[in-house]
Amino acid sequence: MTAPTTQRPADGAPDRGEPILSVRGLEKHFPIKGGGLIKRTVGAVRAVDGVDLDLYPGEVLGLVGESGCGKSTTGRAILNLQPATGGSVVFEGREIVGLNRKQMRPLRRDIQLVFQDPYASLNPRLPVFDIVAEPMIIHGLTKDEADLRSRVKELVETVGLNPEHTNRYPAEFSGGQRQRIGIARALALQPKVLVLDEPVSALDVSIQAGVINLLEDLKSSLGLSYLFIAHDLSVVRHISDRVAVMYLGRIIEIADQEELFNRPAHPYTQALLSAIPLPDPRRERARQRIIITGDVPSPANPPSGCRFRTRCQKFANELTDGQRELCLTVDPKLEDRGAGHLNACHYAEVKAVL
């Protein structure tokens, strides 16, 4: 298609190879300041606490988890919007962690972010043309006014909007259309990687489907790689090639989409999948649901050993006291435990829950 971006080889199905983005031991700790006149750091909210992941060219990696698990913070730390407090993020061989704003700027062309809320992420006082053109002006990508015009027009058409409407303001568009504007802006710099932070969560389902299809089309026609952050596992299953599940600042299971949904091995993944109601009355009513108790513990004070043990149905009901000892004392690493993919549970066991 006549994309506004230059021709980058469409990578098609990821044959893996070298990851385009490689994250190792990523940490983002927010300090907790004590009371009193002199603010001392008395602790830290360990929002992201050792995340490893690789994103391969042409791939969609889904990052899922419940609110507060650190998935959005991971996305922002990868983009250096909230500088990481530890670990490393390597994009095409270049370390990102520790770069200052100026040093980041050339990299911003290659990694762009699409925000969740299309109402808050567009400047209400700029017409759509300016919103989409702004990144190109900042990065000096256009020769002249005419070139800029034609590129904005192309971008706006690419995301399925009418280019005649670029003189309108964001308020004149619906949620789905605004999200398309946000996507057009992200594409303006011809990025290689898009970090999509809950891009369809704010949209109604009939509108959401159109944006999902658009993202799929853009990915294959422009050869993009996505880090797709979402809490809706149905959407993630639909769009992702691989899926990583986060809990309390860590990835606890990561596998190919098919594998993760059909053969989850971590008790949390199993509970998460079984908690999602299926829009199919017969199947939904015939399902056995794993109900996990309680809420996510505070990331300022995560449990010892395995972070999920306080809510784990396996820990509570199946394990012997002797076996529990391991969960209490040893933090399980993310590794292949015989399930054919990586997970972080001492007693991982594949169980179909859908």
Partner 1 sequence: MSTIGTTGPTTSGATSTGTMNQGRTTSLPGFDPNAPLLEVTDLNVRFPTEDGLVHAVRGVDYALRSGEVLGIVGESGSGKSVTSLTVMGLLPGSARVTGSIKYRGQELLGQSDRSMSRIRGKGVSMIFQDPMTSLDPVYKVGVQIEETLRIHDKSLSSKAAEARAVELLELVGIPNAGDRVDAYPHEFSGGMRQRVVIAIAMANQPEVIIADEPTTALDVTVQAQILEVLQTALQETGAAMVMITHDLGVVAGIADRVLVMYAGRPVEIGSVEDIYYEPRMPYTLGLLGSLPRLDSSTRERLTPIQGAPPSVVNMPPGCPFAPRCPLHIAECDEAEPERFQVGPGHTAACIRTEQVAAAHGRAADIFSESAADATMAGVPAPAGVADAQSDLDDDGPAVPPGDQTAPRAGLSDAGTQSVVSAPPRPTNGDRA
Contact positions with partner 1 (CB under 8 A) in 103-122: 119
Q: Does 318 bind partner 1 (CB under 8 A)?
A: no
Site for partner 1 in 260-279 (CB under 8 A): 261-262, 271-279
The whole-angstrom separation of Cα 112 and Cα 139 is 13
- The distance of closest approach from Cβ of residue 124 to partner 1 in the complex, given in angstroms and rounded to an integer, is 12
Which of these segments, 16-24, 85-93, 234-242, 323-331, binds partner 1 (CB under 8 A)? Answer: 234-242
Which is nearer to partner 1, 148 or 207 (by Cβ)?
207
Site for partner 1 in 8-37 (CB under 8 A): none
The whole-angstrom separation of Cα 61 and Cα 280 is 27
Kindly write out the interface string for residues 67-106 of this chain, putting x where it contacts partner 1 by CB under 8 A and - elsewhere.
x---------------------------------------
Residue type, 145: E
Q: Which of 235, 243, 245, 339 binds partner 1 (CB under 8 A)?
A: 235
Kindly write out the interface string for residues 277-306 of this chain, putting x where it contacts partner 1 by CB under 8 A and - elsewhere.
xxxxxxxxx---x-xxx-xx----------
The whole-angstrom separation of Cα 8 and Cα 136 is 18
Environment class of 228 (CB within 10 Å of its CB; exposed 0-12, middle 13-18, buried 19+):
buried
State the sign of the Cα–Cα–Cα–Cα dihedral 173, 209, 65, 220. Answer: negative
Chain-centre distance of CA 143, in angstroms? Answer: 34
Reported as type and span, the H/E element at residue 270 is helix 267-275
Site for partner 1 in 148-207 (CB under 8 A): 157-162, 164-165, 171-174, 176-177, 180, 204-207
- The distance of closest approach from Cβ of residue 24 to partner 1 in the complex, given in angstroms and rounded to an integer, is 28
Pull the structure tokens for residue 231. 């809490």
Pull the structure tokens for residue 308. 């999920």
